[in-house]
Structure 1
Amino acid sequence: MPSLPEELKDLESKLQHTLRKLESIQKALDESTIVVITDQTGKITYVNEAFCRISQYSREELIGNTHRIVNSGYHSREFFKHMWKTIGTGKIWRGEIKNKAKDGSYYWVQSTIVPFLDERGKPYQYVSIRTDITRLKQYEEQIKYMANHDDLTGLPNRRFLREQFSKLLKETKEEERLLAVYFIDLARFKNINDSLGHSVGDEVLKQMAARFRTVLDQKLFLTRVGGDEFVAVAPRVNYQSILAYVRTIQQMLARPLEIEGREFILSANIGISVFPFDGEDLDTLLSHADMALYHAKEEGKFYQFYHRTINQRLIRETILESHLHRAIERDEFILYYQPQYDLFTGELIRLEALIRWYNSELGWIRPDQFIPLAEKIGLMPKLDEWVLSTACRHRKMWKQRGGVEADLSINLSASHFQIPGMAKRLLSIIESNGDDPCRWEFEVTEHIMMQDSAVVYENISQLKEAGVKLAIDDFGVGYSSLGYIKKLKVDRLKIDRSFIKNLPQSADDQAIVAAVITMARQLAIDIIAEGIENETQIQLLKEMGCKGGQGYFWSPPISETEIELLLHGAE
């Protein structure tokens, strides 16, 4: 049996070993875990080194204090009330807490608070074991930010708008005021992307977003919802402030952007819907603002408030679109023709083919209703080819029946010229019908001058080489450029009827028509005046040197049967 001193030595050895293990555990805790002990009132009685490091306070500053010293103000009173209620009943509490360090920076900890109970089952102290999750929370915040913001402009996205809208609406209702939704679309932004590249387009969007943030104060919730479209929500407003924001945006757009040494002046269209008149939820207000935006674009307005007639118009357009897709296969289109005459000889010089649409359910649909719609939904190339093919058949029929063979002209969509191979396709239609391209004239609007691309010029060159003539329709009301007229090798200009109808009463219109005719003669380009209605207009146009004309003075657009009679009478 060992002696007592030997037992003491053995006990001391075991104790030293245990202390070393405890020191190792404490060292490990100090490196990886934050440990804090408080009494039952929350006063700090112990902190380890890890807590001092993360909080940047010394032990002397922490011991005897409470956790209010690191309170960040992030959590609500109810949050801490629930925590104390849990540990006060002897239960363990777990949760994430955002604290504030001595230098003002914030950090997050995953905390487990364990109550120590006395013999009566009441807590006499609490041990908090915490781990630093600041980086994890930063990653979470970054992921959340990326999910809720546009990565190009840094603006909130549609998803974040949905999250915040109920709060904005609540604030508006509490103050019994209005809430406005602005749907903003940058006009002709696609042209910048297509002509100068996406890098320039992206820079334009970033600069525009920065300007929006600057000029639209913190009261507005601004988002980018895609492409060149932005949505701003203005809570707690009246009509005066709604319009004030519109003027602010207009003034902002007047200042040019400078990108890569180029200056850009952008325009925009804005659709506006207002709570509670135009809807009481975000989806309805956005939809109505979008409708108003569409109307603003169609009417060439800077901004447009939503009203119910816009909705009715769009409903009709939707109905038209559904019928338009099937109109060709159902043989609903009809070709009418309007004659063009030599003002000096009275001779018939050409027939302009004009498409008309009759639907058994909707009746006659005006060209100014269905042609812009067909353009928008990409059906114009198909309609153009139908017109050309049908007119070819009609001319072949008139010729077989012994009528005078007149030249024909058709209207083509300017966007059709952007399609590679368009010229070959149209020429093949003419040739397959045994027709001569030299007897054809294709009319386009001045919009073609805005499509300065290699594809456009390739198509025009192929048509011109085959003998097809090119006319600019409605000349003077759009983008007129002598340089482009020369570059496109235009054969004929058609003076728009809006300049003819007030002749000779309008001195301004008379001066414009005279200038166009003089310019055309100097460029060796033919001129035709549209919309002639009386002999006085004919005499004045002849004096100015205009050679051709068309209008109701001779004939409105007439059917193929009436044209056949006209051609027989012209023999």
Structure 2
Amino acid sequence: MSAPHDHSEPLILVVDDDQATRLMLRRALERDGYRVEEAVDGGQALEIFDRSHPDLVLMDAVMPGIDGFTACAKLRSLPGGDLTPVLIITGLDDEESVNRAFESGASDYVHKPIRWAVLRQRVRRMLTESRAEKRVNHLAYHDPLTDLPNRQRFADQLEQSTDLARRRGQPLALLFLDLDRFKLINDSLGHGAGDLLLQSVAQRLTACVRKGDIVGRLGGDEFTVIVEGVASAQEAALIAQKVLVVLAEPFMLDSREVFVTASIGIALYPFDGGDHGTLLKNADVAMYRAKDYGRNNYQFYTAEMSARAMERLELENDLRRALERNEFLLHYQPQVHLASGEIIGLEALIRWHHPDLGMVPPADFIQPAEETGLIVPIGEWVLFSACQQARAWQDAGHQRVRVAVNLSGRQLKQRDLVDTVRGVLSDTGLDPKWLELELTESSIMQNDKLTRSTLWELHDMGVRLSIDDFGTGYSSLSYLKRFPIDTLKIDRSFVRDITTDPDDAAIATAIIAMAHNLKLDVVAEGVETVEQRQFLQDRGCDAIQGYLVSRPVPAAMLDQMLAPKVVQSSDKVG
């Protein structure tokens, strides 16, 4: 049986030791147009799954050998098993069996005797949700502009490649590429032309490297290439030189000829780093050395390349003193309800006014803060300041709105997080219902047991919880059932081309529909045009956030917007 992507009809794997049950299920499913494979026990089911990659598994619980519960748990660890829905069909109807099914990774559970009308609807719904989830997952791990592996996916692939290189005893080269003066092209020709250029660069890179080499886009104008099995540094240099030559050819952007060059840093495993993180960091350092050497060249990493690392260290030292020097401030970005046009929330966004460097972008200090642990005290300051400001607005008679505060993964790991939030709310006098905590998908999956306990305590306290940048991280619907989430925020990468890209439109529509089926609210981020707002409103999105409404602004600039006499309308938002 060939893989499911070779056929339009979904493939369903039926697992049951009873031949009569398998026969009845096969006939019912084939009448509805599905392809069917059968397995008589859990062991055979795992073999068929690994070979055929079915779209849905119907699994009996009690079977000889490997039972359905065990098979389901093992299936989840197979390639693609984490995204394939499993429906347990069994005569067991006690609570312990139901709990065991879900703990084993089952997506749903139905009892025998089978009610065929119910089963048909359940199968249809699970397949529809699974297709949408897989599309979300693909976009979560691939850059939507170039379809190359994104930062998270590339990091996983680099880790796998370094592990393989270690086992084989072979060197590996990592090329870190940054386009030269890309901002000038963006600013002069527009973001549309910039996007076309990035797509063309991705195509040329993929075409010019060797078969089996892995090209990724980390973001912006940064690309990376994994070159496995290099015989020498000279071989890596030849590939880098080939990339420079290929990129030196003119690009045609909307009938305009554009020239672009690149700076490339090269790090070799195991000489320049024994793990994927160190290798990526050192290739990045080498790339900046190539920039310093006049651009349009490549440089190998050397231990002497410490200037940028020293700058990073100085930034971290300044970051440690920024809190006590009161250098941080908050800006707020409104969230507007699409149906009423009213402001329903404000996301608190931190800014750093450095005494020497001026305004430091969050992208330059959030990651160092996370890595050093400084994000915890900084996060507490943000939480307190935002709650204090929200209460101040209420005391001034302004419109009552929720204030949303981002929680980092490291903050979520703090065992005293609930006490911290409770203390801040008590000290500021803010009712918990006016606080929303925004979490990322990846952060809540890092410690499932602790996270679940923490989030339920916050929920019981009355604090609202939202998933930020939905669709860019873990992207599995299963955690939405386990955690008390109130809101999904559609990532701006899906919103940007929502009116022109069918994939983005389909993903956004699916997220809205799935969220509402789970009784969750939906907020779309990065809304910049009236057309985007109308698209989202037509599909039932609850609220929007972005430059169409307002840029992030200081608290003082929101006083008029929150004044009780001001009536917000959808016309004013646009």
Q: How far apart, CA to CA, are the structure 2 residues paired with 1:541 and 1:378? A: 38
Q: What is the aligned partner in structure 1 of residue 280 from structure 2?
A: 293
- 1:285-434 to 2 correspondences below 5 Å: 292-294=279-281, 305-306=300-301, 311-434=306-429
Q: Tell me the CA shift for residue 547 of structure 1.
A: 1.1
Q: What is the aligned partner in structure 2 of residue 553 from structure 1?
A: 548
> Is residue 2:523 matched to residue 1:532?
no
Cα 1:509–1:295 change in 2 (3 A) is farther
- Match of 2:267, SS state, is strand
Q: What is the aligned partner in structure 1 of residue 566 from structure 2?
A: 570
2:170–2:230 contact (8 Å) kept in structure 1? no
- 1:191-270 to 2 correspondences below 5 Å: 212=166, 214-216=168-170, 237-240=232-235
Q: What is the aligned partner in structure 2 of residue 13 from structure 1?
A: none
Q: Tell me the CA shift for residue 345 of structure 1.
A: 1.1
Alignment deviations for residues 68-114 of structure 1 (CA, whole Å, 9 cap, x no partner): xxxxxxxxxxxxxxxxxxxxxxxxxxxxxxxxxxxxxxxxxxxxxxx
| One-letter amino acid of the structure 1 residue matched with residue 383 of structure 2 | L
- Match of 2:339, SS state, is coil
- 1:503-522 to 2 correspondences below 5 Å: 503-522=498-517
Cα 1:240–1:514 change in 2 (3 A) is same
1:271–1:291 contact (8 Å) kept in structure 2? no
Q: How far apart, CA to CA, are the structure 1 residues paired with 2:314 and 2:421? A: 30
| One-letter amino acid of the structure 2 residue matched with residue 382 of structure 1 | P
Q: What is the aligned partner in structure 2 of residue 499 from structure 1?
A: 494
Identical counterparts, % of pairs? 36
- Match of 1:339, SS state, is strand
Q: What is the aligned partner in structure 2 of residue 441 from structure 1?
A: 436
Cα 1:526–1:215 change in 2 (3 A) is same
| One-letter amino acid of the structure 2 residue matched with residue 553 of structure 1 | L
Q: Tell me the CA shift for residue 296 of structure 1.
A: 5.8
Q: Tell me the CA shift for residue 361 of structure 1.
A: 0.8
Q: Tell me the CA shift for residue 457 of structure 1.
A: 1.6
Q: How far apart, CA to CA, are the structure 1 residues paired with 2:413 and 2:553? A: 31
Q: Tell me the CA shift for residue 570 of structure 1.
A: 3.4
Higher relative contact order (CA 8 A, sep 6+): 2
Alignment deviations for residues 322-354 of structure 1 (CA, whole Å, 9 cap, x no partner): 100010100000010000001111011111111
| One-letter amino acid of the structure 2 residue matched with residue 414 of structure 1 | G
Q: How far apart, CA to CA, are the structure 2 residues paired with 1:449 and 1:402? A: 36
Tell me whether 344-353 or 310-319 shows the greater mean CA deviation. Answer: 310-319
| One-letter amino acid of the structure 2 residue matched with residue 293 of structure 1 | L
Runs (5+) with no aligned partner, structure 2: 1-153, 172-228, 240-264, 287-298, 568-574
Cα 1:271–1:428 change in 2 (3 A) is farther
Q: Tell me the CA shift for residue 402 of structure 1.
A: 2.3
> Is residue 2:482 matched to residue 1:487?
yes
1:532–1:549 contact (8 Å) kept in structure 2? yes
- Match of 1:397, SS state, is helix
Q: Tell me the CA shift for residue 491 of structure 1.
A: 0.6
Q: How far apart, CA to CA, are the structure 2 residues paired with 1:460 and 1:236? A: 51
Q: Tell me the CA shift for residue 237 of structure 1.
A: 3.8
Q: How far apart, CA to CA, are the structure 2 residues paired with 1:320 and 1:433? A: 31
Alignment deviations for residues 250-293 of structure 1 (CA, whole Å, 9 cap, x no partner): xxxxxxxxxxxxxxxxxxxx97269xxxxxxx9xx779x98653
Q: How far apart, CA to CA, are the structure 2 residues paired with 1:448 and 1:349? A: 26
Q: How far apart, CA to CA, are the structure 1 residues paired with 2:304 and 2:486? A: 43
Q: How far apart, CA to CA, are the structure 1 residues paired with 2:282 and 2:233? A: 23
- Match of 1:336, SS state, is strand
Q: Tell me the CA shift for residue 366 of structure 1.
A: 0.5
Q: How far apart, CA to CA, are the structure 1 residues paired with 2:411 and 2:163? A: 32
- Match of 1:351, SS state, is strand
Q: How far apart, CA to CA, are the structure 2 residues paired with 1:308 and 1:535? A: 51
Q: How far apart, CA to CA, are the structure 2 residues paired with 1:540 and 1:324? A: 41
| One-letter amino acid of the structure 2 residue matched with residue 455 of structure 1 | L
- Match of 2:335, SS state, is strand
Q: How far apart, CA to CA, are the structure 1 residues paired with 2:348 and 2:362? A: 13
| One-letter amino acid of the structure 2 residue matched with residue 379 of structure 1 | L
- Match of 1:331, SS state, is coil
1:271–1:294 contact (8 Å) kept in structure 2? no
1:336–1:559 contact (8 Å) kept in structure 2? yes
Cα 1:212–1:535 change in 2 (3 A) is closer
Q: What is the aligned partner in structure 2 of residue 134 from structure 1?
A: none
Alignment partner for residue 463 of structure 2, among 462, 468, 475? 468
Cα 1:503–1:454 change in 2 (3 A) is closer
C-alpha RMSD of matched pairs (Å): 3.8
Runs (5+) with no aligned partner, structure 1: 1-185, 192-203, 218-233, 245-269, 275-281
| One-letter amino acid of the structure 2 residue matched with residue 388 of structure 1 | L
Q: How far apart, CA to CA, are the structure 2 residues paired with 1:454 and 1:235? A: 43
- 1:32-47 to 2 correspondences below 5 Å: none
Q: Tell me the CA shift for residue 214 of structure 1.
A: 4.4
| One-letter amino acid of the structure 2 residue matched with residue 419 of structure 1 | Q
1:492–1:525 contact (8 Å) kept in structure 2? yes
- Match of 1:361, SS state, is coil
2:273–2:282 contact (8 Å) kept in structure 1? no
2:388–2:430 contact (8 Å) kept in structure 1? no
Q: How far apart, CA to CA, are the structure 1 residues paired with 2:506 and 2:470? A: 15
| One-letter amino acid of the structure 2 residue matched with residue 484 of structure 1 | Y
Q: How far apart, CA to CA, are the structure 1 residues paired with 2:394 and 2:496? A: 35
Larger gyration radius, structure 1 or structure 2: 1
- Match of 1:463, SS state, is helix
Q: How far apart, CA to CA, are the structure 2 residues paired with 1:527 and 1:309? A: 49
Cα 1:238–1:339 change in 2 (3 A) is closer
- 1:48-87 to 2 correspondences below 5 Å: none
Q: State how many pairs are aligned.
A: 316
- Match of 1:391, SS state, is helix
Q: How far apart, CA to CA, are the structure 2 residues paired with 1:309 and 1:474? A: 38
Q: Tell me the CA shift for residue 542 of structure 1.
A: 1.0
Q: Tell me the CA shift for residue 545 of structure 1.
A: 1.0
| One-letter amino acid of the structure 2 residue matched with residue 431 of structure 1 | S
2:412–2:444 contact (8 Å) kept in structure 1? no
